[in-house]
């Protein structure tokens, strides 16, 4: 299967008059928009070629510092997808301010617990993707990667970029892109595959940056996205 994530610089999102995602993707996808959208329609969207049989959403306002005026930030949106390999696809969008790693830690734990509650012991692949607004050495990302526990909880997800490009920085928010508007390069966008006891439930065959070059003088967004090819392991999940 192929999975992609992109923090699209929304100029015209999803409103009563216009659906940017449907305009970009066409009619081949089943499209579901999460709540918590801005007046111009910015927010999380999940699109799938396979049937989406369940949707779950949770607010991640874990402290008073999570700004309610930015409703698309601090949310998790989950789609239950029934394809050849049944899976949960999880879009995790934590708080972005640099000083709010504590909130990102709590938000990561809340999302991880939601996923485990939704699985309820069922064997199903879990793909976790989005703009996590933290670099690989941050506590919230180390938590996802199984390198440390938080709040009495631990999980382990395999970082697709790190698996496919060990040691390479893989910046997704970079000064090479003039839309970025910050002053240093960071890898903050991820695709993760949930692990069971001995490793990820899907094999990571490839991971590349998406929309990481100019096209006719235009950047697709202020972020570079990611695209990952995955395949089933022997014996399934």
CA–CA distance, 34 with 55 (Å, rounded to integer): 9
Q: Is 64 part of any domain?
A: yes
Query: How far is 100 from 64, CA to CA, in rounded Å?
Result: 11
d(CA 75, CA 187): 20
User: Quick check: is 237 in a domain?
Assistant: no
3-state class of 55 per DSSP? strand
Residue 97 has pLDDT above 70, yes or no: yes
Per-residue confidence (pLDDT) for residue 235, from 0 to 100: 57
Mean pLDDT of 1-20: 84
pLDDT digits (tens, 9 = 90+) for 208-235: 999 999 999 999 999 999 999 999 976 5
The confidence band for 7, taking pLDDT boundaries of 50, 70 and 90, is very high
What whole-number distance in Å separates Cα of residue 153 and Cα of residue 125? Answer: 20
pLDDT computed for residue 15 by the predictor: 80
Q: What is the pLDDT of residue 10?
A: 66
CA distance 163 to 231: 14
User: Which CATH number do you get for residue 9?
Assistant: 3.60.10.10
Average pLDDT on 165-183 reads 93
Residue 166 lies in a domain: yes
pLDDT of residue 40: 78
Lowest mean pLDDT among 67-71, 170-174, 218-222: 67-71
Give the pLDDT score at 38: 81
Residues in Cβ contact with 158 at an 8 Å cutoff, skipping those fewer than 6 apart: 145, 192, 193, 195, 199, 200, 204
Under the banding of pLDDT at 50, 70 and 90, the label for residue 118 is very high
Mean pLDDT of all residues belonging to the chain: 93
- Calculate the alpha carbon distances from 77 to 89, 117, 135, 170, 196 in Å: 8, 14, 21, 25, 22
Angle at 114 between CA 169 and CA 193, to 5 degrees: 35
Q: How confident is the model at residue 9 (pLDDT cuts 50, 70, 90)?
A: confident
Buried b (16+ CB within 10 A) or exposed e, 17-34: eebbbeeeeeeebeebbb
Domain that holds residue 127: 2-232
Q: What percent of the chain has pLDDT over 90?
A: 79
Considering its fold, how many domains does the chain have in total?
1
CA pseudo-torsion sign 18, 22, 26, 30: negative
User: Domain for residue 200, yes or no?
Assistant: yes
**Structural domain contains residue 185:** yes
pLDDT tens string 132-144: 999 999 999 999 9
Tokens found for residue 191:
């695709």
Query: Between these two residues, 137 and 36, which has the higher pLDDT value?
Result: 137
Q: What is the pLDDT of residues 14-29, one digit of tens each?
A: 888 888 889 889 899 9
């Amino acid at each position: 299967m192929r999975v992609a994530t992109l923090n699209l610089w929304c100029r015209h999102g999803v409103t009563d008059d216009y659906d940017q995602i449907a305009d970009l993707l066409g009619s081949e996808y089943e499209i579901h928009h999460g709540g918590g959208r801005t007046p111009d329609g910015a927010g999380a969207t999940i699109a799938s070629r396979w049937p989406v049989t369940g949707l779950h959403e949770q607010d991640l306002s874990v402290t008073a510092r999570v700004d309610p005026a930015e409703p698309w930030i601090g949310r998790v949106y989950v789609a239950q997808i029934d394809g050849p390999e049944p899976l949960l696809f999880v879009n995790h969008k934590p708080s972005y301010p640099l000083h709010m790693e504590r909130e990102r830690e709590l938000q990561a734990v809340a999302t991880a617990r939601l996923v485990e509650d939704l699985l309820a012991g069922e064997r199903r692949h879990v793909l976790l993707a989005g703009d996590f607004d933290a670099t690989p050495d941050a506590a919230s990302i180390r938590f996802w990667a199984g390198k440390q526990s938080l709040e009495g909880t631990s999980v382990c997800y395999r970082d697709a970029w790190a698996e496919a490009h060990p040691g390479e920085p893989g910046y997704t928010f970079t000064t090479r892109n003039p839309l970025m508007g910050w002053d240093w390069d960071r890898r903050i966008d991820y695709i993760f595959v949930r692990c069971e006891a001995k490793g990820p439930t899907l094999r990571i065959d490839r991971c590349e940056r998406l929309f990481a070059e100019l096209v006719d003088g235009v950047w697709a967004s202020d972020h570079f996205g990611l695209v990952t090819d995955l395949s089933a392991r022997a014996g399934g999940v």
